[in-house]
A and B are shown apart, each in its own frame.
Chain A
Amino acid sequence: MSVDKDTVKKIARLARLDVPEDRQEQIAGELNAILSWIEELGEVDTSAVEPLASVTGHSLPLRADKVTDGNKVDDILANAPEQASGFFVVPKVVE
C-alpha cells in the first residue's frame, strides 16, 4: 500500500488541506516512511481479537433530555473571524 502523488492529492482534499503541487512528492515520501514502519502490525495475529475503542469499560452515560445551557450567542460569536446579525459569515455556498 504505497502512497503516490495522486493519493496525497486525494487525502489532502479529504482533510481540507491545501498541499501545493511542489510539496506533494515530498509528503508522499514522508507518509510512505511512516506507513511502512506501521506495516509491522501485520505480523500480529488479530483474527480473533475484538477492537478496543475505549479503555473506560463503562458505557456512555445518558442524561435527562433537558436544556441545560444556551442563550450565549455573544460568547459563541466572540471569536468568529467574521460575523453579522448574530450569524457566522462564510463565503457564498449557493448560487
Chain B
Amino acid sequence: MENYLNLTATQARTALQKKEISATELTQAYIAAAEATKSLNNYVCMTADKALEMAANSDKRIADGSAGSLEGLPIGVKDLFCTAGVETTACSAILKGFVPAYESTVTSQLWRDGAVMLGKLNCDEFAMGSANETSVFGPAVNPWSANGEVDLAAGGSSGGSASSVAAGSALMATGTDTGGSIRQPAAFCGVVGMKPTYGRCSRWGIVAFASSLDQAGPFTRDVADSALMFASMAGHDAKDSTSADAVLPDLQTALQASVKGMKIGIPKEYVMDGMDEAITALWQQGQEWLVEAGAELVPISLPHTRYALPTYYIIAPAEASSNLARYDGVRYGARVEAGQSLDDMYEATRAAGFGDEVQRRIMIGTYALSAGYYDAYYLKAQQVRRLIKNDFDEAFDKVDAILTPATPSAAFPLGVKQDDPITMYLNDVFTVPANLAGIPGISVPAGFSQTGLPLGLQVLSGAFREDTLYKVAACLEKQAGFTGQPPRHALAAG
C-alpha cells in the first residue's frame, strides 16, 4: 500500500485503468497518510466516509468503462471552496459551522471527472496571509525542515494544499491565488502550483477575497499532473460574469513540445537586493537550462514592477472590505449579541469573528474607498495597475514567456514575530504582478537552498497561453530533475 503514495496522478490513473490498484485502496492509503501526518495540521476537516463512497463509485465506473479524466484520484480541497454538505469556513471564526447547500463550480467539475474528495485543507483566514499563520485552526506545517527541529511555514495562503501534496497526504489539491497564494506555498513545499489566466476557472462558490484578482488553480507533484487537473477545473461558467468563454489550448501536445526557438524574457527588475544567493544562482541555472534546450534569452524591462506590491495592497483590501461586508451575523456564521441596536450586533460580531490581519485589511480598504481618499488611493492604484499590465503586454510582444524566481527566500520558521506586516507582504514580490495583469504563472520546484529546502522557479506567459506556460515548465522540470522526499512525508511517519 505504501508506495501508492509516491505515484503521480498520471501514474495512479494508469494503475487504476490497468486495475493494478482500486480507487478504494488508493483512497484508503491517502486517508491513512493524512492520519499519520496529522501533526502537519494541513487538513482542517477529513471527509473519509464521503471519500470511500466516492472511491467505490469510481471503482464501478472504471469497471464499466465510463471512467472520467480524474477517476479515483484522491484530492484535497482548500477550505475556501464551498462544498455541499461539508463545513466551509475560509479558516475564519466568523464562518465556523457554515455548511453550504451548494458546490463551487470548480470542485463540481473535479467530481464530475471522477476525483475523490479527501477533506478540506488549511489556509490563511479568507486567504489573507503568506504563511498560513492567520488561520483560526493554526498554521499548516511544511513537511520539509532544515534541521528537523523547527517547524517551517508551508507558505500561504494555500499552505494546507502545498503541505498535503508534498507530504503524501493528498495526491493533488485545489488552491486559490490572489497575490501568490498558490505559487509561493508550492515553492516552499517543493511541489508544482499553477495560477491560471484570470477568468479561466469560475470563481462561483469560492469564498471571495479580491474579486478582480482571485483565481483557482491546481497543486500537484509534477507538471503533467498540473495540466491534467487544470483541464478539469477550467471552463466557462455563466454563473461567474468574469468567466472567460475561451477554448483551452492543447496542453498534452504542449507538454511534449520542445522549447527550441522560444524567446524567454528575463526581467532586470526582478534582481532584488538581499535576495537569497541560492535563489539568484537557481535563476541563473534555469536560464542556462532553457538555453541548453534551444530557447533564446531576451533581456526585458518591466519598469513598474516595484509599484506592484503597494498597488496590490490598495486594490486587494479595497475589494476585500466590500466582499467581507456580507459577514453580518444575520444570514450565516457566528453572531455576537451586544448592545441594543442592529449596528451594535454587526460591530460586535465582526470584531469577534475576524482575526487581526483580516480586520487590518478591512480597515485599509475601507479607508482607501472612503469619501475624500478614493481618488488618492483606489483610483491611483487602478491607474498604476494599468501601467503594470501594459509592461507585460509590451514584453509579450517580444517574448513567449518570462522566467523569474518564485519567491525571494526559502521557507522560514513559523512563529517568528512579525512586527511589521509589510515584511510579510514582501514574500509576494515576484508573484503579485501576474495577478494584477491577469496572466498565468506556474511555480516549478527546481533546486535547494544551502540548508536543503526546496526552491522554485516561476514561469509567466501571456493571457490564455497556458500551453506556452506548460511547455516551458515541462522543460525546466526535466532539466532540474528535482527529487527528494521531505523528512515529514507520510511514508517516513509510517
**How far does the Cβ of B489 sit from chain A's closest Cβ, in whole Å?**
37
Is the Cβ of A52 less than 8 Å from the Cβ of B386? yes
Is the Cβ of B332 less than 8 Å from the Cβ of A14? no
Known: A17-B347, A17-B363, A18-B351. A79 touches B386 (CB 8 A): no
> CB of B60 within 8 A of chain A?
no
Interface string of B352-370 (1 = CB under 8 A from A): 0010000110111011001
A11 to B363, CA, bound (A): 6
A70 to B207, CA, bound (A): 21
Chain A residue at minimal CB-CB distance from B360 = A30
> CB of A86 within 8 A of chain B?
no
> CB of B61 within 8 A of chain A?
no
**How far does the Cβ of A27 sit from chain B's closest Cβ, in whole Å?**
7
Q: Which of B32-40, B68-76, B305-313 contacts A (4 or more CB under 8 A)?
A: B305-313
A38 to B425, CA, bound (A): 12
Is the Cβ of B384 less than 8 Å from the Cβ of A55? no
**How far does the Cβ of A79 sit from chain B's closest Cβ, in whole Å?**
4
List, in ascending order, chain B residues with CB within 8 A of A78's CB: 99, 101
Is the Cβ of A79 less than 8 Å from the Cβ of B332? yes
Is the Cβ of B307 less than 8 Å from the Cβ of A41? yes
Interface string of A21-56 (1 = CB under 8 A from B): 000000100110111011011101010011111111
Is the Cβ of B345 less than 8 Å from the Cβ of A31? no
A51 to B375, CA, bound (A): 11
Interface string of B294-324 (1 = CB under 8 A from A): 0000000000101100110110000001000
**How far does the Cβ of A23 sit from chain B's closest Cβ, in whole Å?**
10
Interface string of B328-353 (1 = CB under 8 A from A): 11111111011011111111101100
**How far does the Cβ of B305 sit from chain A's closest Cβ, in whole Å?**
12
Is the Cβ of B332 less than 8 Å from the Cβ of A80? yes
Interface string of B449-480 (1 = CB under 8 A from A): 00000000000000100000000000000000
Is the Cβ of B314 less than 8 Å from the Cβ of A51? no
Q: Which single member of A18, A30, A56, A76 contacts B244 (CB below 8 Å)?
A: A56
> CB of A67 within 8 A of chain B?
no
Known: A38-B313, A55-B198, A78-B101. A17 touches B382 (CB 8 A): no
The main secondary structure of chain A at its interface with chain B is: loop
**How far does the Cβ of B334 sit from chain A's closest Cβ, in whole Å?**
7
List, in ascending order, chain B residues with CB within 8 A of A7's CB: 367
Is the Cβ of A34 less than 8 Å from the Cβ of B313? yes
> CB of A84 within 8 A of chain B?
no
> CB of B8 within 8 A of chain A?
no
Q: Which single member of B325, B346, B385 contacts A52 (CB below 8 Å)?
A: B385
Is the Cβ of A90 less than 8 Å from the Cβ of B307? no
List, in ascending order, chain B residues with CB within 8 A of A80's CB: 330-332
Is the Cβ of B362 less than 8 Å from the Cβ of A15? yes
> CB of A66 within 8 A of chain B?
no
**How far does the Cβ of B382 sit from chain A's closest Cβ, in whole Å?**
3
List, in ascending order, chain A residues with CB within 8 A of B341's CB: 91, 93
**How far does the Cβ of B108 sit from chain A's closest Cβ, in whole Å?**
16
Is the Cβ of B362 less than 8 Å from the Cβ of A79? no
List, in ascending order, chain B residues with CB within 8 A of A16's CB: 325, 328, 343, 346-347, 350
**How far does the Cβ of A77 sit from chain B's closest Cβ, in whole Å?**
9
Q: Which single member of A46, A63, A91 contacts B384 (CB below 8 Å)?
A: A46
Chain A residue at minimal CB-CB distance from B212 = A54
A80 to B343, CA, bound (A): 18
Is the Cβ of A90 less than 8 Å from the Cβ of B363? no
**How far does the Cβ of B130 sit from chain A's closest Cβ, in whole Å?**
15
A11 to B384, CA, bound (A): 25
Is the Cβ of A79 less than 8 Å from the Cβ of B98? yes
A34 to B287, CA, bound (A): 35
A19 to B342, CA, bound (A): 17
List, in ascending order, chain A residues with CB within 8 A of B335's CB: 81-82
List, in ascending order, chain B residues with CB within 8 A of A19's CB: 351, 359
> CB of B481 within 8 A of chain A?
no
List, in ascending order, chain A residues with CB within 8 A of B149's CB: none
> CB of B421 within 8 A of chain A?
yes
Contacts of A51-95 to chain B: CB distance below 8 A: 51-56, 58, 60-61, 63, 72, 75-76, 78-82, 88, 90-93
Chain B residue at minimal CB-CB distance from A38 = B310
Is the Cβ of B238 less than 8 Å from the Cβ of A3? no
> CB of B381 within 8 A of chain A?
yes
Q: A33-B422, A81-B334 are in contact. List 12 more A-B contacts (CB 8 A).
A: A15-B321, A16-B343, A40-B306, A44-B384, A52-B383, A55-B198, A55-B212, A55-B463, A56-B242, A61-B238, A79-B99, A81-B329
What 8 pairs across the A-B complex have the smallest Cβ distances?
A55-B438, A51-B382, A79-B332, A46-B383, A81-B335, A52-B386, A18-B347, A18-B351
What are 6 pairs between A and B in contact, CB < 8 Å?
A17-B363, A31-B360, A31-B367, A37-B310, A61-B238, A81-B330
Residues on A close to B: CB < 8 A?
Answer: 1, 3, 7-8, 11-12, 14-19, 27, 30-31, 33-35, 37-38, 40-42, 44, 46, 49-56, 58, 60-61, 63, 72, 75-76, 78-82, 88, 90-93
